[in-house]
Chain A
Amino acid sequence: MDSHLKKYGQLIISLSGVVAVWWLVSGLGLVNQNLFPTPPQVLAAAVELYRDGVLISDLQISLKRAAIGFTIGATLGVLVGLLTARVFAVSLLLEPFLTLLRPIPAIALVPIAIVWFGIGEGSKYFVIAYTVFLAVWLNTHAGASSVASTYIRAARSLGANRFREFFEVVVPAAAPHIVVGLRLGAALAFLSLVAAELSGASSGIGFRLQDARQFIQTDRMFVGLIQLGILGALLDSVFVLISRRLVHWESA
């Protein structure tokens, strides 16, 4: 309880410090207020967006896109990661290809996504799923290929067949890595969301950022950025909470 209090206290002090400096810099008129708005201006923009009804609807649509993209990417990432780590034929076939994909950022894939999946939701899911997939695959692969040999030996000497060895030993042994991958993937889902919403979108946080840029509305852009920051931080805390339950033995 005490550590919670300390954590929240720290958060509040840190945030108010940042806001204070921001206010000071923007309020002193050192920079063009149109380009660097003050906290009250940003708050007013947020209220205006809320009254227009787009603040909440943007949030909903963006969350939906991130969630669907994440689910697709994470599922594939875990499956393919386990296979490339434990099935030699699959690793032989896929690993070089996936290694080549790794350095390609999501934003570079947007044009391809449009060509393949059109300007509808499909291309957005694809871009997000792609980013999530790579992070989850990489971590799952690392986890599943570095399972301690004592676990495997123990499982085999206790008479576990290949099937049980995989599901009762390899998967749980890799679980801490998988969870790290999923956490990273969730953060990346939000990063690629902005890239995904650059095109063919008429709602969502990424679109709103783009639209605000179009009309030099930096206050609105700040609203979008803060939204992304809060969402990402909240999601990460939820993930930490879930992963503590899921791989409880890691922290013990």
Chain B
Amino acid sequence: MHHGFRTMFLAGGIAVLAQGTTAQETEITFGGGAYLDIPQLAVAMDRELFAEKGLDVNVIPFQSGRSAFEALLGGQLDVAVMAEFPAVIGAMRDQAFKVIADLSRYQATRIIHAGDPEIDSVEKLAGKPIGVTAGTNVHFWLENELKAAGIEAEIVSVGPPDIVPALARGDIFAGAMFPSFYGGAQKTLGEAYREIPISSYDTHFILVATQEIIDENPDAVTAVLDALIAAEDIVVSDPAASHEAVSRVLGGTLDTDEIAAASASYTFEIGLDDALVDLMVEQGVWINARGSIKGDVPTRDSIGAYVDDSFLSALAPERVTLD
């Protein structure tokens, strides 16, 4: 008992001390993860750039941007990173948040199959069963691709982690999946692995913030963005250092070579442009047409209302090209 009490007292003292040193900093809860997609975040954490901007950032990693977004809407987070698609749903469901900046683009989207190597374009997938997780951004671009190619295929809804096993078993002929499963597909399918590159769609990784933090502490939002821009300078100027930072933040699950290889498929450039808003509107129209969310058809205005360029415009106006 006596001993336990002393330990408690000591722990309390340390806590008070810790409080003392961070009293000046603004506390921010950041929904993270996706360090490979957004090395700016990994570098900012690794180099303690948030602290430099006077922030005490607590990064909580999430398995998917969607769950990070759900936590943000539920009031658990101040800011979060994710793909653009959930933000479209959030805008259509009148949620209290804003898109602050576009952080990076993934440019190696593909359809994977294990069949005849001759099948190397979307046209040749006519009539084949293709696995995809319904209602996701992948579903969105797959339908666009099929439409553009003028073909019909059988779309089978499969959960994200089950597309690769379904491909390996032959339940589906081809699979359209989140990029995080590409590596697993390559490993599982081995020699049989084939890919059809898709150029019509790039995943945009964006920074979102709650309306509450924007209203109550806009300086903190600016500081977060500022730290990420500072981190991007390192990402661009010293890729090797960036890869090391990502590897460290990931806890060594990927080595720097693997990170370097994967990073080649991305553009890391913080900005805000019409391409992003146009894409989001297009996705909104698709969601509306699918009947998943009823109501008015989203427009540039209705979606644009959820993009707040003021923070980026103030910090680096040259990065904003919105009409």
- What is the interface size of chain B, counting residues whose CB is below 8 A from a CB of the partner? 31
A200 B166 Cβ-Cβ under 8 A = yes
Find out whether the CB atom of A202 lies under 8 angstroms from the CB atom of B134.
yes
Q: Tell me which of B40-48, B140-148, B151-159, B226-234 binds A.
A: B151-159
CB < 8 Å: which of B159, B169, B171, B287 contacts A198?
Answer: B159
Do A118 and B171 touch across chains, with their CB atoms under 8 A apart?
A: yes
What DSSP secondary structure best describes chain A's contact surface?
loop
Distance in angstroms between the alpha carbons of A199 and B163 in the assembled complex: 9
A35/B293 in contact, CB under 8 A: no
On whether the beta carbons of A114 and B166 are closer than 8 Å, the reply is yes
Q: Does A114 lie within 8 Å of B157, measured CB to CB?
A: no
Q: Residues on B close to A: CB < 8 A?
A: 66, 70, 73-74, 89-90, 93-96, 131, 134-136, 156-159, 161-162, 165-166, 168-169, 171-172, 287, 291-294
Which of the candidate stretches A1-9, A55-63, A72-80, A208-216 sits at the interface with the other chain? A208-216
Contact A214/B136 with A35-B74, A111-B165 known, Cβ cut-off 8 Å: yes
Cα of A207 to Cα of B293 in the assembled complex, Å: 16
B159 near A200: Cβ-Cβ < 8 Å: yes
Q: Are A217 and B171 in contact (CB under 8 A)?
A: no
A77 to B313 CA separation, bound complex (whole angstroms): 66
Residues of B within 8 A of A48 (CB): 294
For residue A214, which residue of chain B has the nearest CB? B135
Q: Which B residues are CB-close (under 8 A) to A115?
A: 165, 168-169
Name the distance in Å between B184's Cβ and chain A's nearest Cβ: 12
Q: What residues of chain B lie closer than 8 Å to A207, measured between beta carbons? A: 157
Bound CA–CA A48/B292 (angstroms) = 12
**Given that A200-B156, A200-B166, A211-B134 are known contacts, is A120 also in contact with B73, CB under 8 Å in the complex?**
no
| Cross-chain contact B169 with A118 (CB below 8 angstroms) | yes
Query: Is B89 within 8 A of A119, CB to CB?
Result: no
Q: Which residues of A contact B292 (CB under 8 A)?
A: 211, 214-215
Min C-beta distance of A58 to chain B, whole Å: 14
Assess whether A16 is interfacial by the CB under 8 Å rule.
no
Tell me if A216 and B157 are in contact (CB < 8 A).
Answer: no
Would you give the shortest CB distance from A213 to chain B, in whole angstroms? 8
Most buried by B among A120, A199, A201: A199
Q: Which residues of B contact A202 (CB under 8 A)?
A: 134, 156-157
Measured CA separation A242–B90 after assembly (Å): 48
What are 15 sample pairs from A and B whose C-beta atoms fall under 8 A apart?
A32-B74, A32-B96, A34-B95, A48-B294, A111-B162, A114-B162, A120-B171, A198-B159, A199-B162, A201-B157, A202-B157, A207-B157, A214-B66, A215-B89, A215-B93
What sequence of 0s and 1s flags, for each residue 212-224 of chain A, a beta carbon within 8 Å of any chain B beta carbon?
A: 0011110000000
Complex contacts, B94 vs chain A, CB 8 Å: 34
Nearest B residue to A210 by beta-carbon distance? B159
- Asked if A119 contacts B73 (CB within 8 A), the reply is no
Q: A200-B157, A214-B135, A216-B90 are in contact. List 5 more A-B contacts (CB 8 A).
A: A34-B94, A198-B159, A199-B161, A215-B89, A216-B89
* Contact A216 B135, beta carbon cutoff 8 Å: no
Partner of A216, one of B93, B158, B171, B172: B93
Minimum CB–CB distance for A228 against chain B, Å: 19
Q: Is the CB of B287 within 8 A of A119?
A: no
Please measure, in the bound complex, the distance between the C-alpha atom of A181 and the C-alpha atom of B135, giving whole angstroms: 38
CA distance A35 to B93 in the complex (A): 10
Which of B73, B135, B166, B287 makes the CB contact (< 8 A) with A35?
B73
Interface string of A181-200 (1 = CB under 8 A from B): 00000000000000000111
Measured CB to CB, the closest approach of chain A to B115, in angstroms, equals: 17
Residues of chain B contacted by A216 (CB below 8 angstroms): 70, 73, 89-90, 93, 95
Q: Which of A52, A114, A119 is B156 in contact with, Cβ under 8 Å? A: A119
Residue contact A119 to B135, C-beta cutoff 8 Å: no
B136 contacts across to A, CB distance below 8 A: 214
The 7 closest A-B pairs by CB, nearest first: A199-B159, A118-B171, A199-B162, A214-B135, A202-B157, A114-B162, A115-B165
Say how far B282's CB is from chain A's closest CB, in angstroms.
17
What is the distance, in angstroms, from A50's C-beta to the closest C-beta of chain B?
14
Give the CA-CA distance A202 to B159 in the complex, in Å: 10
| Complexed CA–CA distance, A52 and B136 (Å) | 21
